[in-house]
Amino acid sequence: MTSSTPETNHPDLWLPDWPWPEADSHKHKRGSLGVVTGPAASTGAARLAARAGLRIGAGLATLFCPPSATLVNAAHETAVMIKPFSTPDALAELASSSKCVLIGPAAGVDSTTRENTLEVLKHAGSSVLDADALTVFKDQPDALFNAITLPAVITPHDGEFSRIFPGLLDQYTRAEAAAIAAERSGAVVLLKGNETLIAAPDGRLTVNRHASPFLATAGSGDVLAGMIAGLMAQGMEAHRAACAGAWCHGEVARRVGPGLISEDLPDALPGLLSEFYARRA
């Protein structure tokens, strides 16, 4: 177990690795992101995430949805694409052609989400797991950890963290708990809160305090997961992508300020990204 003090998150840690498009880039080169939606009445969280992933630079963002959710998704989206799937095998095929897949936001706490999550972990180039994709492993967290063999980020809030790492938050500091969780799971663990801990299995440990209390609103975590997945779709290394996502999420929240709703966050990214772009070497 590490007892080291976390490094404070700052753009110097990841801005040099920002995946800017080259002059000869095209959308496929910039990286494809897939986001799995829940059934028809539970699709908003995944749409927030997909929009965030596209805004942060993924060349293609596609919602992978059960057939029942096709029309509701299609009615809401324009730049984000929609691909329905009916079975875990069909999702596996879609995941195989994605550089990163995000699953969990409003996916549903049921065996379908569990099977779909295992397919994503096996077939996507990299994965981000949030919300229900973590909760479904409450009774058997080792089944989740054993399936993590490729780059993966998990983004639990305290409730979700305690379901898959029972007792850690009672026995250790948040920094220690996140570090142990990363080592145990093999994933980068981003433990959300007003101070967010970001731990990698190799021992890197970062704390993000660049945030806003106005992030305490429904769907803001879904946007964060989408930002991280969008950066991983562009090839950014998992721990750096998680740190970059957390900082940018906090910065756009500060810019929006009082009255913030989650929809505002992705659309505040271009202003921030333009400042980053002007600073590049």
Ligand X SMILES: Nc1ncnc2c1ncn2[C@@H]1O[C@H](COP(=O)(O)OP(=O)(O)O)[C@@H](O)[C@H]1O
Ligand Y SMILES: NC(=O)C1=CN([C@@H]2O[C@H](COP(=O)(O)OP(=O)(O)OC[C@H]3O[C@@H](n4cnc5c(N)ncnc54)[C@H](O)[C@@H]3O)[C@@H](O)[C@H]2O)[C@@H](O)CC1
User: Exposed, middle or buried, 23 (CB in 10 Å: 0-12/13-18/19+)?
Assistant: exposed
221 forms part of the interface with ligand X (CB under 6 A):
yes
Per partner kind, with CB cut-offs from 5 to 8 A, the member of ligand X, ligand Y, none near residue 215 is ligand X
CA 209 centroid distance within chain: 18
Q: Check residue 9 for interaction with ligand X (CB under 6 A).
A: no
* Separation CA 20–CA 31 (nearest Å): 11
User: Is 131 among the residues that bind ligand Y (CB under 6 A)?
Assistant: yes
Residue 111 C-beta-side C-alpha neighbours within 13 Å:
1
The site partner of 194 among ligand X, ligand Y, none (C-beta below 5 to 8 Å per kind) is ligand X
- Maximal C-alpha separation, the chain: 52
Closer residue to ligand Y (CB): 117 or 135:
135
Q: Rounded to whole angstroms, how far apart are CA atoms 77 and 53?
A: 14
Residue 77 contacts ligand X per CB under 6 A: no
**C-alpha angle 8/176/1, rounded to 5°?**
120
Among 35, 103, 211, 268, binds ligand X (CB under 6 A): 211
The one among 88, 105, 201, 266 contacting ligand Y by CB under 6 A: 105
Is 264 a residue that touches ligand Y (CB under 6 A)?
Answer: no
Length of the chain: 281
Interaction site with ligand X (CB under 6 A): 131, 157, 192-194, 196, 211-213, 215-216, 218-222, 224
Interaction site with ligand Y (CB under 6 A): 44-45, 105-106, 131-132, 135, 157-160, 218-219, 221-222
